[in-house]
Amino acid sequence: MTVRIDGKALADDIVEKVALDVAAFKRDQKVTPGLAVVLVGEDPASAVYVRNKVKRANQAGLNSTEHYLAKDTSQEELDKLISQLNQDDSVHGILVQLPLPKHLDESHVIEAISPAKDVDGFHPQNVGNLVTGQKSLIPCTPLGCMIMLNREIDDLSGKNAVVIGRSNIVGKPMASLLLQANCTVTTVHSKTQGIESICRNADILVAAVGQALLVKKEWVKPGAVIIDVGINSVEVEGKRRLLGDVDYDQVSSIAGAITPVPGGVGPMTIACLMQNTLTAAQHQLGV
Ligand code: NAD
């Protein structure tokens, strides 16, 4: 029997727990943890993500402020806003929604955010801490994937884990977290030769590519746990549908457990953002 990992239900549980912890934090510290979300431009997918994040922040009892900037906002204007948010004591977490319009320098923006408020976990200081196994803010998507894996698998130690994709926001931090959990980790990517046979050896397979239905049944070891990070908007029979990187219909017949798209990793990412905002506030107030 293949387990369908219900990311939505698990995310609801996490947000409920964060809400309880936020209430206790407010009571004890007399401070409401604050999340500032910055969106530059009008990318429709980004606007949906920001709306969902704000909705969840409200459910968790966080103070959320949104900053909507025009698509032609200059680097200087964006830098100035980030600097203000860095200095604002009511803001404990800063999230700049990516991707940014082409004329803005993403790396520069990530580095401008105070590492203590970097709830996306993308700042080089947090990346370094993650890789060296020190306390850090962990990128939300891989954090959500790890929570799901830890629930499905009693002991990750010694498992063969394959991560498809090597981006800074998903693939690389995912591989670091799996390594820390004592998995034997292989990262495969667009230049990898013989990807299918490498994946077939995986007890844990994480797909973070951005290609609809790339992972087929033949790529999967029977009983493997499959985490599908991909979100691909594809037209199917005249209708827009969200599909993952994994061919769910095929793979679910042999996997031990699998996340659906939608309703898997996506909701967990947002729930982990709430958790990270609380964590950031706790660290900043020395709790
Ligand atoms: P990215 O484009 O930055 O990276 C994609 C990676 O896939 C690259 O490292 C590339 O080498 C690799 N790749 C490309 N083609 C490949 C192939 N044929 N075989 C193997 N590897 C290949 O993307 P990303 O930001 O890491 O996002 C990946 C996917 O995850 C996207 O669909 C994105 O929308 C989704 N995503 C979802 C969430 C969520 O919350 N669920 C969060 C972030 C990203």
What is the best residue among 95, 166, 167, 216 to mutate for testing ligand 1's pocket, by most ligand atoms within 8 Å of CB? 167
Residue at 233 is within a domain = yes
Contacts of 237 (CB under 8 A, 6+ apart): none
| Residue 262: per-residue pLDDT | 96
164, 229 Cβ separation under 8 angstroms = no
For residue 10, being part of any structural domain is answered with no
147-173, pLDDT tens digit by residue?
999 999 999 999 999 999 999 999 999
Q: How far is the CA of 167 from the centre of ligand 1 (A)?
A: 7
Q: Evaluate whether residue 100 is within a structural domain.
A: yes
Q: Are 81 and 144 in the same domain?
A: no
C-alpha of residue 100 to centroid of ligand 1, in Å: 17
Domain coverage including residue 36: 30-114
Q: Answer whether 209 contacts ligand 1 (Cβ < 6 A).
A: yes
Q: Is the CB of 148 under 6 A from ligand 1?
A: no
Q: Per the domain annotation, does 110 fall within a domain?
A: yes
User: Would you say residue 261 lies in a domain?
Assistant: yes
pTM: 0.97
Q: Can 80 be counted among the known catalytic residues?
A: no
Residue for token digits 């693939």? 171
> Residue 187 is part of a domain; what is its CATH number?
3.40.50.720
Ligand 1 centroid vs 237 CA: distance in angstroms? 25
User: Tell me, what CATH number does 72's domain have?
Assistant: 3.40.50.10860
Do 146 and 245 lie in a common domain?
A: yes
Q: For the chain, how many structural domains are there in total?
A: 2
State pLDDT tens for residues 29-76.
999 999 999 999 999 889 999 999 999 999 999 999 999 999 999 999
The residue out of 80, 99, 114 marking a domain boundary is 114
Question: In terms of domains, do 236 and 156 share one?
Answer: yes
**Edge-to-edge strands, sheet with 34-40:** 63-69, 34-40, 93-96
